[in-house]
């Protein structure tokens, strides 16, 4: 396995912790869908920083704002399957089915568990774009 993919996955894992933590905190004061959307932006910014410092160390370091913006655009492309999968699972999976599968407590954890498949789908798109566009290696 390519070391960059592994580092990208570690950065994404840390971003997932930011994502879940932010969503959990915000869902105490906001509905689940807006909390999820805000958590995505926090995680995308954190993951950009991790990838800049750790995953793609050999990439161009000038113009960090432009790189951050490109990273957010890339995250938006990955956000489409991420959000789409989450929305389908939240809206279409019946509460009765969740309760039967994992019990009453499952209803509390379901919004968090529903994030995982979407995040994995988004990661594939994000890595491809990040390696080719956002963090191009410096020449020389």
* Residue 136 to residue 115: CA distance in whole angstroms: 29
pLDDT recorded at residue 117: 87
pLDDT recorded at residue 88: 87
Are 80 and 32 a contacting pair, CB within 8 Å?
Answer: no
Length of the chain, in residues: 140
Cα radius of gyration rounded to whole Å, the chain? 16
pLDDT recorded at residue 87: 87
Per-residue model confidence as pLDDT tens for the chain (140 residues): 588 889 999 999 999 899 899 999 999 999 988 998 899 889 999 999 999 999 998 787 778 899 999 999 998 888 888 889 888 888 877 766 676 666 666 666 777 778 888 888 888 888 989 988 898 776 65
* Residue 131 to residue 75: CA distance in whole angstroms: 13
Are 48 and 68 a contacting pair, CB within 8 Å?
Answer: yes
Could you tell me where the DSSP H helices lie in 51-114?
64-92, 95-102, 106-113
Residue ranges of the domains in the chain?
3-134
CA distances from 94 to 40, 100, 102 (A): 24, 10, 13
Tokens of 24: 């959990």
pLDDT recorded at residue 101: 66
pLDDT recorded at residue 86: 87
* Residue 58 to residue 66: CA distance in whole angstroms: 17
Question: 59 by DSSP, 3-state: which?
Answer: strand
Are 126 and 78 a contacting pair, CB within 8 Å?
Answer: yes
pLDDT recorded at residue 89: 84
pLDDT recorded at residue 39: 93
pLDDT recorded at residue 97: 67
């Amino acid at each position: 396995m390519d070391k960059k993919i592994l580092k990208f996955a570690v950065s994404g894992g840390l971003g997932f912790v930011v994502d879940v933590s932010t969503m959990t905190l915000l869902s105490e004061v906001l509905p689940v869908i807006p909390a999820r959307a805000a958590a995505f932006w926090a995680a995308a910014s954190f993951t950009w920083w991790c990838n800049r410092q750790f995953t793609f160390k050999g990439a161009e370091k000038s113009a960090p704002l432009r790189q951050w913006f490109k990273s957010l655009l890339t995250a938006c492309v990955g956000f489409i399957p991420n959000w789409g999968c989450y929305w389908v699972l939240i809206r279409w999976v019946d509460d009765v089915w969740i309760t039967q599968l994992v019990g009453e407590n499952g209803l509390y954890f379901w919004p968090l568990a529903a994030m995982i498949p979407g995040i994995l789908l988004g990661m594939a798109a994000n890595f491809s774009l990040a390696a080719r566009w956002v963090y191009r290696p410096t020449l020389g």
